[in-house]
Amino acid sequence: MADNTQELYNRYIELMRKITDIKKAADVLQWDQETYLPRKSSDIRGQQIATLTETAHHFFSSEQLGNILTELAGKNDLTENQKKNCELTLEDYLKNKKYSSQFVRKLSEQINKTFHAWIKAREMNSFSVFENELNVLITLKKQESELLGYEAHPYNAHLNEYEKGCTVHFLDNVFEPLLPFLNSLLGKIKSQAPVDNAFLQQYFPKQKQWEWGMYLIQQLGFDFDSGRQDISEHPFTTSFSPTDVRLTTRIDENDFANMTWSCIHEAGHGLYEQGLPVDQYGLPLGEYCSLGIHESQSRLWENNVGRSEAFWQNYFPKLQEFFPEQFKTTSSEIFYKGINKIEPGLIRTEADEITYHFHVYIRYELEKDLFEGNLKTTDIPAYWNEMYLKYLGIKVPDDNHGCLQDIHWSHGSFGYFPTYSLGSLYAAQFYTYINKMIPGLEEDMEKGSVLKILQWLKQYIYPYGRKYTSDELCIRITGESLNASFFKDHLLRKFGNMYTL
């Protein structure tokens, strides 16, 4: 590479890392807001985050950066990875230029207000407390659709933010054949004798659950020298760099499953973030591929590993050591069936592998209707309750068990929910190939080792950042695009055996 090209590329790196430093400083404040922020601090914290967000936008839309990217685009002596970084950054830069600084600040400040309104609404178990601020945020997100531009549907602008190229048309073609299959399978399982999982609803002391969760995360390979876990209202993972990744969880002393699979799920996200290349910090190849791929990592660890019989062959005796009284009369077989019980419920994050996707679909349809203008903010609770009765056959008793359960809308994360289902489909497809490529994988898990799974992910998914789209990455690994048949086969094999269908 010519010296002038390398010098120009180095200037690009320097600018991008400064911008990323500002963004990550805002992320630190956001993380603190959701974990340790004093109750009276919300207004000034919102101002601080908005200032950093606006400043990052200013630098990322600067003429200086634009000129560097334009000049680099004309260079023919960049390496493949350097060229990809420049292409993706130019794409991001042009999109970022569509926003004014005023809009960026206004959106950031409104997200802060909406988040704290959600917290208060959760405390009061009342959607009406959340409604006004949410409505303002939805209005801004509709304006954002127009700023970004879209084809066919205003919701597409937001879907594309989380899963590049994702559209309403694509998702409809995913859900429409999947839901009848899931509904049929659910009907067959309902006709069987119900599985008893009452042992999960005993008293499990908060501190002991915390110790168990920390132990489990460490066993999965999460590096606590490069991360930590804390408590929040809604479990999430955030990353300030591959050497500083934060997980959060929540604990219900009367529901063992709540924290355990939250920890495994978020650890899956955290392992991905810790596995991204440190030398690409601030650049697209140092960022995750997409939210669909990110969710594939959490769902793979949560379900394909963390709800497997092989995994608990080793960890159930360990669990009994942590909770000898609670599990003294529970066999490993009963435990395995109990943690995989299929039963419609109210809470998405606690849903089984089949009904989970009805939770996602309901949110997807609701958001679609919001952006089409067919649904008003005031109508959300009634719409939610109607859909839960229609698709899951259950009545929603209150707002906390209904439309207030997720944090996503308070962050303005419209378009995020479908990535959970996409992630499950990708996870099943990837896990099929992990099993093919690693002989004796289940035997290793029975002995307590998941190291080979982590090594596979470090080789085939983590190192590439945004170099490939989700589809390109999936084809590289499995030889084909996303194919729901892998997920269907996984469910039929697992629950066919468990329920003797």
What single-letter DSSP state applies at residue 468? S
266 is catalytic: yes
Task: Give the 3-state secondary structure of 90-159.
Answer: HHHHHHHCCCCHHHHHHHHHHHHHHHHHHHHHHHHCCCHHHHHHHHHHHHHHHHHHHHHCCCCCCCHHHH
Structure-token pair, residue 451: 């190291």
Query: Residue 397 to residues 58, 343, 400: CA-CA distances in angstroms?
Result: 46, 17, 9
Query: Residue 355 to residues 75, 264, 405: CA-CA distances in angstroms?
Result: 51, 19, 16
Contact 26, 56 (CB under 8 A): yes
- Name the residue type at position 296: S
User: Which candidate in 133, 266, 273, 367 is catalytic?
Assistant: 266
Structure-token pair, residue 274: 């810790």
Query: Residue 382 to residues 134, 371, 375, 389: CA-CA distances in angstroms?
Result: 16, 17, 11, 11
Contact 429, 478 (CB under 8 A): yes
CA distance 86 to 10: 12
Contact 90, 145 (CB under 8 A): no
Query: Residue 140 to residues 7, 79, 163: CA-CA distances in angstroms?
Result: 40, 40, 21
The residues assigned a catalytic role are 266
